[in-house]
Amino acid sequence: MDVAVIDAGGANLGSVCYALERLGVQPRVVADAAGLEGAGRVILPGVGAAPEAMRRLHAQGLVQPLRALQAPLLGICLGMQLLYEHSQEGDVECLGLVSGTVRKLPAAPGIRVPHMGWNVLRQMRPSPLLDGVGEGASAYFVHSYAAPLTADTVAASDHGGLFTAVVQHGRHCGAQFHPERSATTGARILRNFLEMEF
């Protein structure tokens, strides 16, 4: 399968590519709209801040092509947040492929922000993205902002309140955690995204 991984300036680009290679996929790293042509799957990794990431996507001429993309798309960490309509971080308009606004995680006694470390995934509805992922499976998170629970939420995690950990709206999917750093759980979700029918 032709898998395009978008270079949007995220520090996790290399580790996402290595994770795909471990699954037997040789991804293409792309930085413009022409690179999306012919892709069977597209992955949008991201680490950093939403305003900077959206500025880069605009500068690369990728915003409209991503909005019009027919291939299944997986956003990872910040890349997942960019799938939503809006982010509180910098009050920025995002891709608008999934309904909702990404908001800062609430700080509370004993709750550190950013949220860093392993956390349990709670399945909220059936999706092929979670095929083979057992109840109580954990994934590795690093983030300060998160998407709310909506009808598109596939799995949630709890850090001072529930937030969306896995999302699917049609062919638009996302993981708030880092599947490339989440051992067998992350590898299974990546494989599911590559193999599932949309």
Distant-in-sequence, close-in-space partners of 6: CB < 8 Å, separation ≥ 6: 29, 30, 31, 35, 42, 43, 44, 45, 62, 79
Task: Return the CATH number of 3-195, one of 3.20.20.70, 1.20.1300.10, 3.40.1390.30, 3.40.50.880.
Answer: 3.40.50.880
**Selected catalytic residue, list 143, 159, 172, 178:** 178
108-164 pLDDT, tens digit each: 888 999 999 999 999 999 999 999 999 899 999 999 999 999 999 999 999 999 999
Q: Which two tokens stand for residue 63?
A: 């915003």
- Answer whether residue 3 shows pLDDT above 90: yes
pLDDT of 10 above 80: no
Q: Is the pTM of this model over 0.85?
A: yes
Of 41, 177, 197, the residue nearest 127 (C-alpha): 197
> Of 17, 77, 94, 173, which residue is the catalytic one?
77
Whether 178 is catalytic is: yes
φ/ψ of 173, rounded to 5, equals -125, 160
| Contact status, residue 125 vs residue 185, Cβ threshold 8 Å | no
3-state SS class at 44: strand
